[in-house]
Every structure is written in structure tokens, then in C-alpha cells.
A = this chain, B = another copy of it.
Amino acid sequence: MDQKKRSNCPVSCSLDIWGDKWSLLIVRDLLESQPCTYGDFLKAEEKIATNILATRLQMLEENGIITKSEHPDSKAKVLYQLTSKGIDLLPIIVEIGFWADKYYEIDKSKKAVLKEIKKGKELFVKTTIQRLNKEIVKNK
């Protein structure tokens, strides 16, 4: 909401997401399987605490990266999903993937996915962004 006073450097602008471990993992979870519930995030293997999760979800919403909406079935469940702005983070996550793949032992299935993406990175990024954007509308 209140745009923090910050330098005009691109990196500096985006520190809320990239300068925070948990925000990064939330974005990753959403890019992999939208939409997610509060409980879905808690299930992730990195074990985020409930209060930390709540503050990060709020921050990401205020920054226009994600939105909340009701679950069609039960009011109790809340669905979180990326906005277009959030979806546009995909190319960055993909590049992080390439880098990690080069220097660390990563999961074999993830490795295979990255290899496929590399063949046609531009196309993959473009079509995935389109797909995710379409899915937003569906759940409106």
C-alpha cells in the first residue's frame, strides 16, 4: 500500500521479495501450483511459522504481488494467487533455476524440467505467463 521510500535502483526496488527468504518461497510455491491455501504454504518443506506466513502474505498483497479470494466451496478456505505483476516474476525464478542447476545438486525431476525449458526459454516463459494469467480470470 504505502510504497516504501527507497532508492531508484531496480534491485533496491524489489528487495521486499528478493531480500526475504519467505517471500521468495511463497512466490515459488504459487508459480508451481496456483492457487494455494494458507495450509498449502504451511505444508511446504521449509516449515514456515504461522505468524511469519501471515505477515508475508499481507506484505505481498500490499505490494500487489498476490491476491486473496474465497474458495468456491467453503468460506473458511482462502485462496491465494499471483497477480499479473507476480506472474511476471517467472523469468527471474527460471534464471535462478538455471544458476542453481549449474552449481548445486538439485532434484532430478527439477533438473529435467529446467533442461526442457532451456531448449526454448523465451517460448516457455511467454506461454506460461499467458496460461497463469488466464487462470486468474477463471477463479475471479
Contact = CB atoms under 8 A, between A and B. Distances in A.
A64 B92 CA distance: 21
Interface of A: 7-15, 18-22, 24-25, 28, 45-46, 64, 85, 88-89, 91-93, 95-107, 110, 114
Nearest to A98: B91
A106 B8 CA distance: 4
Contact of A99 (B15, B24, B89): B89
Contacts of A88: 99, 102-103
Copies in the complex: 2
B110 A9 contact: yes
A88 B103 CA distance: 10
Contacts of A10: 96-97, 99-101, 104, 106, 110, 114
A42 B91 CA distance: 31
A4 B110 CA distance: 20
A116 B45 CA distance: 40
Given A13-B106, A19-B20, A7 B45 contact: yes
12 contacts: A8-B110, A9-B45, A10-B97, A10-B100, A11-B24, A11-B96, A11-B97, A14-B104, A18-B96, A19-B19, A19-B22, A92-B95
A107 B12 CA distance: 11
Contacts of A105: 8
Given A9-B28, A21-B20, A14 B110 contact: no
